[in-house]
Amino acid sequence: MKRSFADLHLRLPQKDTKNLQSAIQRAANFGYSYVSIPFSFEPSAGEVENLKAICKNVGIEPILRIDLYPRNENALMNNLRRLRRKFDVICVFCDNKEISRQAAKDRRVDLLNFPNFDYRKRFFDRSEAELASKGLAALEIDVKFLFVLEGSARIRFLSCLRREVVIAKTFGVPLVISSGVSEERFMRMPRDLASLAYLFGLDVTEALDAVSINPSTIVLRNREKLGSDFIAPDIRLVKGGNGF
């Protein structure tokens, strides 16, 4: 079966239309079916439509994503309550343990992203994974650090990723591999992106799933929930005539 590939984290400037068009065209040429250029704020309808139009012109499907950087647990809860039904994907950037724990157990969170390459500031441990396994959140790994780190810093980062991958697999937490890049020159083809995952412990199938099946599952699940006939998982409103 042919895979549909996704890069859920192309950190491109939304307002730089020329470069945005160029990068999305490159993503299409690389063979991606879906891309997400995340918002860090609630966009206007015009901004959303502009992104959709650019993607439509090159035959690629946009995934509406928002990245949350909450200061505390209350801010996270307020944002989730306000934004959940407006986006295909919600990612929480976890730069402290309080946010990490709350995001992991909240079923409105799709992705957990740990933005630091310093292992002392990454909080994905066994407790975190156990919470995530009871919710719906996947662990997102941005490979951008592999492009910019060198020497011992890169080695330590890879060691940290290997540890996190083992923990995620132990607790059944899905993995999503994204580029996380903010410049077009760092973009990679989907199979090249997957090949980098071999460096931190994924086999061929797991790596390919992390750039295809896993991100697609998140998007389809949430779009299903946003449908007008959705009531609860596996429960739909069926409309018929004669009052039934």
Beta strands in 37-137 (DSSP E): 61-62, 65-68, 89-93, 111-113
Residue matched to tokens 């470069």? 19
The answer to whether residue 244 is domain-embedded is: no
Amino acid at 109: V
The first and second tokens of residue 149, run together, are 């780190």
User: What pLDDT does 239 receive?
Assistant: 58
The answer to whether residue 241 is domain-embedded is: no
Name residues of the chain where pLDDT drops below 70: 1, 227-244
The model's pLDDT over 19-65, given as tens digits with 9 standing for 90+, comes to 999 999 999 999 999 999 999 889 999 999 999 999 999 999 999 99
**Residue 219 exposed, middle or buried by CB count within 10 Å (0-12, 13-18, 19+):** buried
Burial 169-182 (b: 16+ CB within 10 A, else e): eebebbbbbbbbbe
179: domain range?
A: 5-236
The model's pLDDT over 138-160, given as tens digits with 9 standing for 90+, comes to 999 999 999 989 999 999 999 99
User: What pLDDT does 227 receive?
Assistant: 64
Structural domain count of the chain: 1
The answer to whether residue 242 is domain-embedded is: no
Q: How far apart are CA 36 and CA 129, in angstroms?
A: 25
The answer to whether residue 13 is domain-embedded is: yes
User: What pLDDT does 243 receive?
Assistant: 46
CATH, residue 132: 3.20.20.140
The answer to whether residue 60 is domain-embedded is: yes
Backbone angles phi, psi at 45, to 5 degrees: -60, -35
Element (H, E) at 235: strand 235-236
Nearest Cα neighbor of 25 from 167, 133, 187, 208 is 187
The answer to whether residue 21 is domain-embedded is: yes
The answer to whether residue 243 is domain-embedded is: no
Q: What pTM was computed for the model?
A: 0.90
